[in-house]
Structure 1
Amino acid sequence: MTLETKEDLETDNVDVVCDLLDKLVLKQLHLMEEKMVCELNIESCINNGSIHLAKSRYIMGQSSVSTARLPMESSPEFSALTTCETTEEDDVQQLKVVENNNKSKVNPIRWFGVLVPQNLHKAQSIFQNTINVVVECVNVQLQLFENMRNIDALKKYVCLAKS
């Protein structure tokens, strides 16, 4: 192999890495946009759920829907209705929402009485949906971190190849 051929190969490798870097930066921009959309969805869900809670409080009265009805440290323990577990997809850790099938689960809506307004049920379903949106946002954030690690590794390779 001549010196020119070796330099040509190194230049070709750097060009390929630079193309890959361009693609990763574009992917990063798309992921950032996706994360912003997720965060806006979270904000919208929380606002909608809060409005339904306020309507429920208006219908049932101030004392019926308040923090005084929430469980305290001395309350009996119960299992969460929804949990998250970590899975690995494409060498990236992701979170996944898992419904709890435990027999001892407690429906939190019962803390406010047996006959509760539809707005309270609506608020509950909105907040349950918000959990899915939050997990989606976290997964996008994890992809952003992984993409940044890949970009940093390729930048170091290019710097070493050029020196």
Structure 2
Amino acid sequence: MKDMNKEVNEVREALDEVTLATFDDLENLYSTRERLHDLIQQGWLSLSKSRYSMGSRAVSTLQYPHHITPQAHVHTSETEGDGLQFLTELTRAQTMEPSEHQQHKVEELGAAESPELRRRKAPPSNGVKEEPSIRDKCPREDKQAGSESSDPLRWFGILVPQNLRQAQGSFREAVLLAGEVATLQARVEERRVRHRALLEKKTALLANDGETRGEERGELLAEQ
């Protein structure tokens, strides 16, 4: 009987902890959602202002390149008790540095050159034709990929209005918050499942305790 009461008390304490943790997560979830909503709203407002100043056709899907490299990556991990976690990572493309694919192409072309070809790359004299450089030998696709993976603001021009930069900043921060919202929602769902399991366990323990007490009362009445 004492062991039964001890187990019931442990389940009750676990239920209280899960309930309090759920309330904390819900509070964080609501506040994070509100911040996410404000950022998206501010981003669209800044984007509308930039389209008004530059023209609707100057800021539209017509400026999108054929190949777009994502700058946001989502990493997921699962931990016991917290459920899935979503980590959003934002990367900034460097237009001045070649990509790994381009560097690999350059290394291959450089290794394939002979010493005679390197000597012929000196300033031309006596009418000798200058050999094309390694940069010229690189496929055009690599050059396009390097330009298209640059800052998306360059799709709409070199000197863009400040409103467009503010819109980009708002949307980038919103992407990060979206990962936090997804993590909090998964955590709340994990708490809900945990709470239901503990509640069912508590009900089963109390039912067994009631049956045990009923049997003890029956034995006492039989002895009398």
TMscore range, shorter length: 0.7 to 0.9
Partner of 2:135: none
| TM-score calculated relative to the size of structure 2 | 0.63
Are 1:108 and 2:98 matched, yes or no? Answer: no
Contact 2:92 2:151 in 1 (8 A): no
For 1:67 and 1:99, locate their aligned partners in 2 and report how far apart those are by CA, in whole Å.
22
Partner of 2:35: 41
For 1:65 and 1:114, locate their aligned partners in 2 and report how far apart those are by CA, in whole Å.
13
Cα distance, 1:106 vs structure 2 = 3.4
Residues 127-161 of structure 1: CA deviation (Å, up to 9, x unaligned): 00111111111111111111112112111211221
Contact 1:78 1:106 in 2 (8 A): no
For 1:122 and 1:10, locate their aligned partners in 2 and report how far apart those are by CA, in whole Å.
61
Secondary structure of 1:119's aligned partner: helix
For 2:56 and 2:7, locate their aligned partners in 1 and report how far apart those are by CA, in whole Å.
68
Amino acid at match of 1:23: E
Secondary structure of 1:80's aligned partner: coil
Are 1:86 and 2:76 matched, yes or no? Answer: yes
Q: CA RMSD in A?
A: 1.8
More deviation in 23-32 or 100-109?
100-109
- CA 1:129–1:142 in 2, change beyond 3 Å: closer, same or farther? same
Gaps of 5+ in 1: 1-6
Secondary structure of 1:106's aligned partner: coil
Are 1:53 and 2:70 matched, yes or no? Answer: no
For 1:32 and 1:90, locate their aligned partners in 2 and report how far apart those are by CA, in whole Å.
19
Are 1:141 and 2:135 matched, yes or no? Answer: no
Secondary structure of 1:64's aligned partner: coil
After TM superposition, what 4+ stretches of structure 1 lie above 6 angstroms from structure 2?
none
Partner of 1:98: 89
Contact 2:71 2:91 in 1 (8 A): yes
% identity of equivalent residues: 27
1:117-136 correspondence to structure 2 within 5 Å: 117-136=161-180
Residues 10-56 of structure 1: CA deviation (Å, up to 9, x unaligned): 11211121121012112111211111111111110011111111111
Q: State the structure with more CA Rg.
A: 2
Secondary structure of 1:95's aligned partner: strand
> Residue 162 of structure 1 is aligned with which of 196, 201, 206?
206
| TM-score calculated relative to the size of structure 1 | 0.84
Residues 58-90 of structure 1: CA deviation (Å, up to 9, x unaligned): 22122211233335xxx2x23201110112345
Name which structure has the greater RCO, CA cutoff 8 Å, separation 6+: 2
For 1:90 and 1:38, locate their aligned partners in 2 and report how far apart those are by CA, in whole Å.
23
Amino acid at match of 1:87: S
